[in-house]
């Protein structure tokens, strides 16, 4: 009897020893696996990386690498470092250690291959290497097609906000456009959450106060956008200036021209001009005329060209600046600015914009005034224009074809005469070639300036601006763009809101 008891006790101790050895080895190999991710990320410069090892709570261990774009090569290096290390460790342990330890190392290696190499994860689990971070930002919003349904908008936004808060609830913002004095005016509210406050309650209370009444005009039959965003600051400080929606250039009143169907001609009016963006992801580079600008150079270039200081140091605000630069339809000033940057500027001159020409905006405004004057004279011509010898303009398509040709002709003549464009020529000699050659023909850069400005005036709307932005950008994008000049467009014709995604390595 005593012998049986001793044998049972010895067996229990042996089993306990094996199980304990396995559990300790399993914990150590898992820890080593995550350390390999962490060390690789730190070596590559991602110093905000951290490790989570929730063994006691039975959670999933993971390495967090805030801000690392999953499409970048560095993310692949961080991810594959884990399974390579675990596999090498298992091979070493199997040849040198006991069975429980070897089994634990082998199991960890198999887990690593499954998750890091094949991308298979348990429900609710995503390693930081492919996803970039456990927390994310989120775009949300409502496009209201009819004001009669406006009573439900705020409650719907509240529900969306509460769902999106799960992805990160440090700050949030909302913007919409309200009609005022013949224009659409942006109404934006942004908040930073506190330790004991509810983000959705904070934002909607401030938003309702900013609206000064109902969110929607029940008699409004035009579409109305409510554009929102929640943010978790993965690579910068959480503050109000970093909160979305972002705007670079403050609202301004500019002369805006658009085709009047009733009048069968272009009609001008001074309108409010402003745009907003909400962005989930990272902007790493932007290409201008063959020059790829990293974020610091892009920030400097936008400050010079737009004539406005950078409103925040976060990368997303540069997208708002690019929206101001790219959305120019119906505006001569922004169209000239667009043409100067994207059509006329020499590649070598792009980098100089970040450090030189403090008076650039003033110069471009003077050139834009020449375009405004020629445009006004052109519109005073009769419907059957003597310059073209063609029939009357009857619709927008024929107006664009006729007027764009005539504007290019008029402005190119001014270039040859050096009239009106003299300030540009004298001040931007380092960036543009001489105004004309010996034959009196405009050089390519100056011709591109004129043609680019005219084409931008007629065609560079919000949708085109969005496509150009994505074409020139490198980074990751969940993006919503909106603009006051497009806030009341008919959805059946064109929805002037762009939602796009693009990875850093996508061509």
Evaluate whether 307 touches 353 at the Cβ level (below 8 Å): no
- The angle subtended at Cα 434 by Cα 430 and Cα 437, nearest 5°, is 160
Residue 433, pLDDT > 70, answer no
Confidence band (pLDDT; 50, 70, 90) for 504?
very low
Residue 422 pLDDT > 60, yes or no? no
The 10s digit of each residue's pLDDT in 107-138 is 888 887 777 776 654 443 333 333 433 334 57
For 70-101, the pLDDT digits (tens) are: 656 777 788 888 889 988 988 888 888 778 88
- Higher-pLDDT residue of 492 and 267 is 267
Residue pLDDT, tens place only, 361-415: 777 888 888 899 999 988 887 545 445 556 667 788 888 988 999 999 888 887 7
Residue 476 per-residue DSSP state? E
Sheet holding 473-483, edge to edge: 291-294, 275-288, 473-483, 499-500
For residue 247, which of 286, 279, 290, 288 has the smallest C-alpha distance?
279
- Name the residue ranges covered by the structural domains of the chain: 1-117, 136-245, 253-382+399-482
Helices (DSSP H) in 282-421: which residue ranges?
295-306, 316-326, 332-339, 347-350, 360-379, 396-417
Q: Which CATH entry fits the domain spanning 136-245: 3.30.1490, 1.20.1380, 3.30.2310, 2.60.40?
A: 3.30.1490
The pLDDT score that the predictor gives to residue 132 is 39
Residues 351 and 279: beta-carbon distance below 8 Å: no
pLDDT tier at 105 (50, 70, 90 boundaries)? confident
Strand order in the sheet with 138-144: 138-144, 224-231, 171-180, 183-192
| pTM recorded for the entire structure | 0.69
Q: Give me the mean pLDDT over the 450-475 stretch.
A: 92
Residue 458 has pLDDT above 90, yes or no: yes
Higher per-residue pLDDT: 446 or 278: 278
Q: Which residues are CB-contacts of 217 (< 8 A; sequence separation ≥ 6)? A: 147, 150, 178, 179
For the ranges 56-65, 119-128, 212-221, 355-364, the lowest mean pLDDT is seen at 119-128
Taking alpha carbons only, the member of 274, 363, 286, 257 closest to residue 327 is 274
Q: Which of 149-158, 248-257, 478-487 has the lowest mean pLDDT?
A: 149-158
pLDDT the model gives residue 269: 94
CA distances for 360 relative to 300, 308, 411, angstroms:
13, 11, 20
């Amino acid at each position: 009897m005593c012998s049986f008891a001793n044998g049972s006790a010895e067996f229990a101790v042996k089993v306990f020893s094996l199980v304990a050895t396995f559990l300790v080895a399993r914990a150590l190999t898992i820890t080593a696996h995550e350390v390999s991710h962490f060390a690789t990320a730190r070596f590559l410069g991602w110093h905000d990386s951290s490790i989570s090892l929730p063994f006691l709570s039975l959670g999933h261990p993971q390495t967090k690498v805030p801000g690392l774009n999953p499409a970048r090569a560095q993310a692949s290096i961080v991810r594959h470092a884990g399974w390579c290390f675990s596999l090498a460790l298992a091979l070493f342990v199997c040849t040198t250690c006991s069975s429980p330890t070897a089994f634990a190392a082998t199991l960890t290696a198999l887990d690593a291959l499954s998750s890091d190499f094949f991308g298979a994860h348990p429900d609710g689990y995503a390693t930081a290497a492919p996803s970039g971070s456990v927390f994310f930002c989120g775009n949300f919003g409502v496009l209201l097609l009819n004001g009669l349904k406006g009573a439900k908008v705020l409650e719907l936004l509240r529900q969306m906000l509460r769902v999106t808060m799960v992805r990160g609830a440090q700050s949030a913002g909302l913007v919409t456009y309200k009609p005022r004095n013949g224009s659409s005016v942006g109404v934006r509210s942004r908040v930073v959450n506190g330790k004991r406050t509810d983000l959705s309650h904070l934002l909607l209370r401030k938003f309702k106060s900013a609206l000064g009444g109902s969110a929607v005009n029940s008699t409004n039959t035009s579409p109305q956008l409510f554009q929102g965003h929640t943010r978790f600051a993965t690579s910068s400080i959480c503050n109000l200036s970093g909160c979305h929606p972002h705007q670079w250039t403050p609202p301004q009143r500019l002369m805006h021209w658009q085709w009047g169907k009733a009048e069968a001609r272009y009609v001008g009016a001074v309108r409010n001009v402003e745009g907003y963006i909400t962005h989930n992801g990272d902007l790493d580079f932007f290409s201008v005329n063959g020059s790829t600008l990293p974020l610091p150079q892009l920030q400097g270039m936008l400050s010079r060209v737009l004539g406005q200081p950078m409103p925040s140091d976060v990368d997303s605000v540069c997208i708002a600046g690019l929206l101001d630069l790219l959305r120019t339809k119906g505006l001569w000033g922004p169209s000239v600015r667009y043409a100067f940057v994207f059509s006329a500027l020499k590649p070598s001159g792009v980098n100089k914009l970040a450090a030189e020409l403090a008076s650039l905006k003033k110069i471009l405004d003077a050139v834009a005034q020449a375009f405004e004057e020629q445009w006004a004279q052109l519109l005073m011509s009769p419907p059957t224009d003597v310059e073209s010898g063609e029939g009357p303009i009857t619709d927008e398509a024929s107006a664009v074809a006729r007027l764009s040709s005539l504007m290019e002709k008029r402005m190119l003549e001014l270039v040859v005469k050096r009239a009106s464009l003299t300030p540009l020529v004298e001040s931007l000699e380092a960036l543009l070639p001489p105004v004309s050659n010996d034959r009196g023909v405009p050089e390519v850069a100056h011709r591109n300036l004129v043609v680019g400005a005219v084409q931008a005036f007629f065609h560079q709307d919000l949708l085109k601006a969005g496509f150009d932005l994505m074409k020139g950008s490198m980074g990751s994008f969940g993006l919503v763009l909106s603009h006051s000049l497009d806030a009341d467009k008919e959805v059946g014709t064109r929805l002037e809101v762009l939602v796009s995604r693009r990875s850093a390595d996508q061509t």
